[in-house]
Amino acid sequence: MFVPRDVRTFDGRRVQRPLTTLRGEPVDAVYFRSQRRLVDERRRLEDAGQTTLEADVKPADRFLMERFVTGAMRIEGEPRASRGVLHFDSPRIKAGECDVALSMVALDLETRGLDGPIIAAALASRDREAVIVHGEPPPRWRGVLPREAVRFVRDERALLVALFEEIARADPDVISGWNVVEFDLAVLEARARAAGLPFAIGRAGERARVIAGATSSQPSVARVPGRVVLDGVATLRSATHTFDRFTLEHVSRELLGRGKEIRHTHDPVAEILRMHAEDVESLALYNLEDCRLVLDIFAEADLLAFAMERARLTGLAMDRQGGSVAAFDHLYLPRLHRRGRVAPDVWRGPDVTASPGGHVLDSVPGLYRDVLSFDFRSLYPSIIRTFRIDPLGMAVPGDDPVAGEDGASFAREGAILPELIETLHDARSAAMESGNKALSRAIKILMNSFYGVLGTPGCRFFDPRLPTSITRKGHAIIERARVYFEEQGLPVIYGDTDSLFVHVQGGAGEEALGARGHALAEGLTRQLAEEIAREHRVESRLELRFESHYLRFLMPTTRGSERGSKKRYAGLVRRADGAPELVVRGLEAVRRDWTPLARRVQLELLRRVLTDTPYEDWLREIVRDVSSGALDHELVYRKRLRRELDDYAGGRSSGGAQHVQAARMLADDDGPARREIEYVMTTRGPEPIEKRAAPIDHGHYIDKQLAPACDVVLPFVGTSFARVAGAQTSLF
């Protein structure tokens, strides 16, 4: 760690270094023989009210970042081999370039209940598949799977031994699965311990372990020596993929067009146990198909390449989820040291004032023809590049700084963050040109994370003036864009952070409006560059892009008022192949907390209204079908418990959130509450679908789902759900 030169230390070896704090105070480096001694010294100094610097940087992270090692490294030295592993003593470590194809297997377990023994385990790669089943083979093999792919063992201990041998034989670089850390690997570790077996699935027979999260909201971490564990759900989320549900069945249906072997049953555990007892071939196929689905999802979404590219960019381990602040440290600290400065420890004091968020223009509700949408390409990273926003640049602004906000100013030369973003921007442009979507996505996520990092007290460089200088510049740019369009006689009907929607009147053709959209974007980009150069004497990196021409566009009101809504709209655009495409943002049709019925109906109603297709008879038919029970399969609510069940106030009789009431009914008999709750509204209130006893309350779905979903749209064509279909409810 570092300390200011005038601070007295009690332990460690002090060495003067030609380094200073951000404020220019000289510092010494303090070296320790163990991390424990460093932590003890840091606490002593903190208790004495003294300052420590970078005392919270992990030694391994510091070792790598100071050598600019991210994804690959070069090791120079004399190795000695032991059990297939090379060991180096004090080698030279350098950053390296490496384009390697990592091998991956998918793992899936079937158990007798959540805490029961393992009854089957499957492992699959692109060139090998294996299923190990606890039990006897059937007297006749039907050929659902090749017989040599399935191995039968006498007990669970033998199953574990066989599975560990299969993993060693496959020797994968990456172990994947669906919820593979929290379930599969955690179960394997527990069952191996119960069987008296070492959990030896690492390379060279090294033992793995699963480290549980400190709280229920923190994920567990798998440590498998010599291998990386990539969970399908966590990696999809890191790559910013969004789905209504992150179950394997749902994601595979969405991405691959196929799903699990067991579908239409409310009790898949019972069906798995039945297959184990009566149809072991089908069990093996079900087990293996889950592995195949995981492999195909990774391939379809290019998740392995994404994880590798993210590691190369950030220096974080491939299996590290989140970690934006750590990635910022890895990239920024070594560059800061090269400029002769060291950083403070992460702030551990009380919360500080947050910066303002993105600027949202008031929307003008209505149903429009010919709306053009525009967005600024990577607005916040572009603002950082343009106005030289940077922690070091703010600490040492120089004599001729670039003005920021709240009294901040930034050095014109020597800034780190603008140069870093410029390098990433150029790399992303090259990745897009070469078709490397995984790298392009990883760079975009990293660049966009920088604003959030600077705006969190968890960042060692946090200062409210940094994010505020970014967001307020963004506010001014959006307002300047609105003035520009209004000067062209084009009213702006909505704007949000980096995008604007402009209504064009006059009935011009689609080709002419497209050309005008591009010309408007180029004109504002050029005008902003001229104004910024004149006012700030810097080169603008801002670029406005023409995004879409909406043939029809709906900007709804906020429910229960006449004000325009925010972050909610729908429109019809023309795809490249000439077909119309419906775009929906923020409305009930794309929100998972609404029922499938409400979402489907709103989506179809939008399509009909925006294409001037009759809808009245269709909507009345929907209401009749709901009332008759014909659409009961679309009435299921799906919601997730965000906390432990006991942390929610109230019980079923005392009200509370509907999904919590349903979850308590399950927890009464089924042990721990599930995270994902599926329930329906009955005449006796919410009931989980597995335990529904009362009749479904169809009136609830008409009044609370169909009516509000439809009344987002219908007032703009001069009617309402009650006028079109409300009377139908009296017929039943």
Compute the average pLDDT of residues 283-289.
95
Residues 513 and 614 in one domain: no
Distance CA 314, CA 319 (A): 12
Compute the average pLDDT of residues 82-89.
89
170 CB-contact burial (10 Å; exposed 0-12 / middle 13-18 / buried 19+): middle
Question: In percent, how much of the chain has pLDDT > 70?
Answer: 94
Residues 489 and 551 in one domain: yes
Q: How confident is the model at residue 233 (pLDDT cuts 50, 70, 90)?
A: very high
The residue out of 555, 572, 605 marking a domain boundary is: 555
Residues 115 and 253 in one domain: yes
Taking the whole predicted model, whether its pTM rises above 0.85 is answered as: yes
Would 663 be classed as within a structural domain? yes
The CATH number of residue 399's host domain is 3.90.1600.10
For the chain, the C-alpha Rg in angstroms (whole number) is 30
| Residue 687 scores a pLDDT above 90 | no
- Residue range(s) defining the domain that contains residue 502: 360-420+457-555
Residues 726 and 654 in one domain: yes
Compute the average pLDDT of residues 168-172.
95
Would 492 be classed as within a structural domain? yes
Distance CA 612, CA 606 (A): 10
Q: How confident is the model at residue 729 (pLDDT cuts 50, 70, 90)?
A: very low
Residues 487 and 630 in one domain: no
* Torsion from C-alpha of 61, 65, 69, 75, nearest 10 degrees: -70
| Residue 244 scores a pLDDT above 90 | no
Residues 261 and 133 in one domain: yes
The residue out of 301, 317, 340 marking a domain boundary is: 301
Would 181 be classed as within a structural domain? yes
DSSP 8-state secondary structure symbol assigned to residue 652: S
The residue out of 530, 555, 580 marking a domain boundary is: 555
The CA-based diameter of the chain, rounded to the nearest angstrom, is: 88
Residues 681 and 723 in one domain: yes
Distance CA 456, CA 253 (A): 37
The CATH number of residue 641's host domain is 1.10.132.60
Would 115 be classed as within a structural domain? yes
The pLDDT assigned to 656 comes to: 63
Distance CA 35, CA 530 (A): 53
Would 351 be classed as within a structural domain? no
Residues 486 and 619 in one domain: no
DSSP string, 359-386: -EEPP--EEEEEEEEEEETTHHHHHHHH
CA distances from 292 to 162, 338, 562, 567, 610 (A): 20, 48, 51, 38, 41
Residues 395 and 262 in one domain: no
The pLDDT assigned to 658 comes to: 82
575 CB-contact burial (10 Å; exposed 0-12 / middle 13-18 / buried 19+): exposed
Domain count, the chain: 3
| Residue 662 scores a pLDDT above 80 | no
Closest CA to 22 of 417, 342, 457, 455: 342
Residues 605 and 550 in one domain: no
The CATH number of residue 274's host domain is 3.30.420.10
Closest CA to 713 of 705, 724, 721: 721
Tell me the pLDDT tens digit for each residue of 530-578: 999 999 999 999 999 999 999 999 999 988 788 888 999 999 999 989 9
| Residue 248 scores a pLDDT above 80 | yes
Residues 247 and 388 in one domain: no
The pLDDT assigned to 653 comes to: 44
Within its chain, how far is the Cα of 98 from the centroid?
27
Tell me the pLDDT tens digit for each residue of 453-500: 998 989 999 999 999 999 999 999 999 999 999 999 999 999 998 999
| Residue 670 scores a pLDDT above 60 | no
Compute the average pLDDT of residues 215-221.
79
Would 319 be classed as within a structural domain? no
Would 5 be classed as within a structural domain? no
Residues 516 and 592 in one domain: no
Would 238 be classed as within a structural domain? yes
Compute the average pLDDT of residues 328-345.
96
Tokens, residue 650: 């109230």
* 655 Ramachandran zone, left/alpha/beta (phi>0; psi -120 to 50): left
Q: Is beta strand 569-574 parallel, antiparallel or unpaired with respect to 402-403?
A: unpaired
Neighbours of 613 (CB within 10 A): 11
